[in-house]
Chain A
């Protein structure tokens, strides 16, 4: 049972480059979310999805795009990376019918130079 899988674990980008952070879950959860974690800031919600084809913005969506074509996958795209996007990114999924427990991936550590 893999749970939530994030790839890559580490990434270094140059300013202006684009990339996609991958997230996949095998628990058939409808709800999925992306967070970024910065020192002293806790986890801040970037985007979330309540099901395939439905996404919405969180607290800090600027500079990020998402789409949800399947229940399993929820990729996060950085269109033009900036140093301010240096952070640790976590993907999570949850089942609101099962106590709302959120399951996290292991994270992607991103550095933008």
Chain B
């Protein structure tokens, strides 16, 4: 079985500050890891993904995430928050041969001026 834990249902930052959204996963096989973003009243959009290879993954809108196998983590970061980054962020895990994707409960990012 696989599971995802996102620490913090809400994270608040000031515009220009570092964004750090935490994700830890559990998987008995090598994982594929994803971050999705959901803007209000919209569907989910892929930010970035890790399957194999380089453990530091760069995505859209200046976000990046690092796969750390020893820590079973895949935290999402952005050096400088913009007001437009305010949204809900979901971490998800699957593996090769798995039929389903398991999501975390989501973290709402709030950005203040």
Contact = CB atoms under 8 A, between A and B. Distances in A.
Interface of A: 31, 33, 35, 40-45, 48, 50, 56, 58, 90, 92, 94, 96, 99-107
Interface stretch (B13-21, B39-47, B65-73, B79-87): B39-47
Contacts, number: 59
B28 interface: no
B43 A107 contact: yes
B63 interface: no
B99 A56 contact: yes
Contacts of A106: 42-43
Contact of B43 (A42, A58, A90, A101): A90
Nearest to B45: A104
A67 to B, nearest CB: 17
Given A43-B103, A102-B44, A107-B43, 9 more contacts: A35-B103, A42-B103, A42-B105, A96-B96, A99-B49, A100-B32, A100-B94, A100-B101, A101-B34
Interface residues of A, dominant DSSP? strand
Interface of B: 9, 32, 34, 36, 42-46, 49, 51, 90, 92, 94, 96-97, 99-106
Contacts of A92: 44, 101
Contacts of B49: 99-101
Contacts of A50: 99
B99 A42 contact: no
16 contacts: A35-B103, A42-B90, A42-B104, A43-B103, A45-B100, A50-B99, A92-B101, A96-B97, A99-B49, A100-B49, A100-B51, A101-B46, A104-B36, A104-B44, A106-B42, A107-B43
Nearest to A58: B100
What 4 A-B pairs come out closest when comparing CB atoms?
A42-B105, A104-B43, A43-B103, A104-B44
Contacts of A90: 43-44
Contacts of B92: 102
